[in-house]
Every structure is written in C-alpha cells, then in structure tokens.
Amino acid sequence: MLTGAGISAESGVPTFRGRDGLSMWKGMPFEVLSSSRMVREDLDEVWAWFDFRRGHLAECKPNPGHIALAEWEAKFDEFTLVTQNIDGLHRVAGSFEPIELHGNIHRAYCVECGERHDISGVPHEPDICRSCGGRLRPDVVLFGEMLPTGEFERAESRARECDMFFVVGTSALVYPAAALPVIAKQSGAFLVEINPEQTELSRLCDLSLRGEAGEILPLIG
Ligand code: BV8
Ligand code: ZN
C-alpha cells in the first residue's frame, strides 16, 4: 500500500492539490513553506506553518479507510503500508510501524545534534533540545531534502516483491514516493488505484476504483 493525503481527506485533513487543497498559506505555496530553504532562512515561519497544521490535526480522527488498512495488516501474512502522510493517523488507527517516507509532524529533531523529540500535545514550537540546547525543527522531509535513510529503500524492495500494489489518495506527483507504484508494476504486481479523480498513474493501473478511500477500502478487505 502507498497512501497519500487523500486517505486523510475524510478525516478533515486538507489535501495539498485537490479542490479544498491547503496549497497556499499566508500567500505562499506550500512547496515554498515546506522546503529546506525555508528552514534555513525562516525557521519561525516554518514553525508557524506546522503549528497551524498540528492545531488543526488535533481535531482529526482516523476514518474507515485508515481503520480498514490497520485490519488488513492483521489479515494478510505479507502486508506493507507506506505513507507519504505526516499526520500520524495510520498509527492512531492501529497500523504497526507504517513506513513514513516524509516523516511525522508529531516529531521534531535538533538542528545541532539531531536528537529526536516527540512533540505530540505541544501546541507551539517546542523548547530547546534536551541534550544540547540547540533549536528544533519538524521531523518532516521537506522539498529538496533526502528521505529518511533506508525508508525509501525498504519500501522499494517491498514494491519489487509484492503481488498487488494499492495506491490510495495520492496525485502521484511527488518523487521519489511516486516511483514506487511504477516499480511495483514493472516488477509484475497488479496495480490498483483508489482515488475519486484520474491521476498521472491511472493509465498504468490494472484497476482504478473511482471513489473515496473511506468507502471503498472497507468494501474490499
Ligand atoms: C528529494 C512533507 C532528493 C512536507 C512532502 C522535478 C521533477 C521531479 C522531481 C522534482 C522536480 N523538482 C523537484 C523535485 C523533487 C521533489 C518533487 O518531487 N517535487 C514535485 C512537486 C515535482 N521531491 C523532493 O524534494 C523530495 N526529496 O527529491 O530529495 C534530493 C535531495 C537533495 C538533493 C538532490 C536530491 C522530498 C519530497 C517530500 C516533500 N515533502 N511532505 C509537508 O507535508 O509540509 S510532500 C507532500 O506531497 C506531502 O507529503 C504529500 O503526501 C505529498 C504528495 O501529495 P499527495 O499525498 O499526493 O496529496 P495531493 O493533495 O497531491 O493529492 C491528494 C489526492 O487524493 C488527489 O489525487 C485526490 O484526488 C485524492 N483524494 C481526495 N480525497 C480522497 C482522495 N483519494 C481517496 N479518497 C478520498 N476521500
Ligand atoms: Zn541537540
């Protein structure tokens, strides 16, 4: 499974590029706000953007789509959940150790020593690093940044081995995550897309289920 912002849409988490998308904030496109350059140039603004999103997320709960995937994990011997989402809702729904390619908005790390901190429940920029007093930044992969070492490689090897690959709620525009369904298909997997809209991937899919993840996933499992 590869999931994107669309699987959290029914939980009230705005997607990035859809109609209701959170593609702009304070007049800046999110690709600019969520970038390594912004962390270097204006970390205060990055925290304002992430604190705003964390505040909204505090009201969001997993939906039947997240819950169905947590149940699939228990049902199938071989099952891997890879997500581009940073909202942590797969974990709340009961998915065990999803591969979070883009990090997690409820964690931060120190810009000096790299120490990770859990910031769930901390509504604003957390205090200084408990180890070295350095400043923290969101533990999220921003545009122009490398993915967490080993995570993409783990996801890629599972994509090469799987019989079926589901791509749920993603516009498939962001790399290297968007390469995973292509790798799976090229390795012989049956590729299924679940998305109310057509995407870049649709023509490659063996099956495209046009609808909402929260409705379709509980019907399949
Ligand atoms: C990197 C965290 C290597 C931050 C995110 C030109 C060509 C190709 C690539 C590039 C390029 N220029 C730059 C790049 C690289 C860039 C990239 O891919 N850019 C794109 C925009 C072209 N990638 C990177 O920078 C990556 N790093 O390449 O490093 C490197 C590094 C240094 C030096 C050299 C090389 C890092 C990418 C990670 C960026 N971080 N998120 C944050 O959240 O603030 S990405 C961001 O987009 C989110 O994580 C999100 O998950 C992701 C993808 O978006 P989607 O999940 O697909 O969401 P979207 O809104 O787009 O679509 C929602 C879909 O759901 C829609 O299709 C909709 O129809 C559907 N939907 C709606 N409702 C439902 C639904 N589906 C089902 N049910 C519903 N109810
Ligand atoms: Zn530190």
Digit-by-digit pLDDT tens for the chain (221 residues) are 999 999 999 999 999 987 667 788 888 889 999 999 999 999 999 999 999 999 999 999 999 999 999 999 999 999 999 999 999 999 999 999 999 999 999 999 999 999 999 999 887 887 799 999 999 999 999 999 999 889 999 999 999 999 999 999 999 999 999 999 999 999 999 999 999 999 999 999 999 999 999 999 999 97
168 and 4 Cβ atoms separated by less than 8 Å: yes
Task: Determine the distance separating the centroid of ligand 2 and the alpha carbon of 138, expressed in angstroms.
Answer: 13
Task: Determine the distance separating the centroid of ligand 1 and the alpha carbon of 147, expressed in angstroms.
Answer: 12
pLDDT value at residue 47: 95
7 and 85 Cβ atoms separated by less than 8 Å: yes
CB of 195 shorter than 6 A to ligand 1 = yes
CB of 169 shorter than 6 A to ligand 1 = yes
Task: Determine the distance separating the centroid of ligand 2 and the alpha carbon of 50, expressed in angstroms.
Answer: 20
143 CA closest ligand 1 atom index: 25
Whole-angstrom distance, CA of residue 28 vs CA of residue 125: 20
Q: What is the number of other CB atoms lying within 10 angstroms of the CB of residue 109?
A: 18
What pTM did the predictor assign? 0.96
DSSP secondary structure letter of residue 202: G
All residues at 6 or more sequence positions from 220 whose CB lies less than 8 Å from its CB, including other chains: 68
CB of 208 shorter than 6 A to ligand 1 = no
| DSSP structure string for 153-177 | HHHHHHHHH-SEEEEES--S-STTT
Ligand having the closest approach to the CA of 133: 2
pLDDT value at residue 124: 83
All residues at 6 or more sequence positions from 26 whose CB lies less than 8 Å from its CB, including other chains: 49
CB of 18 shorter than 6 A to ligand 1 = yes
pLDDT value at residue 21: 75
112 and 95 Cβ atoms separated by less than 8 Å: no
84 CA closest ligand 1 atom index: 51
Whole-angstrom distance, CA of residue 34 vs CA of residue 152: 19
For the stretch 56-65, what's the b/e string if a residue is b when 16 or more beta carbons lie within 10 angstroms of its beta carbon? ebeebebbbb
170 CA closest ligand 1 atom index: 57
Q: Which residues are catalytic?
A: 102
Q: For residue 204, what are its two tokens?
A: 């490659």
pLDDT value at residue 17: 83
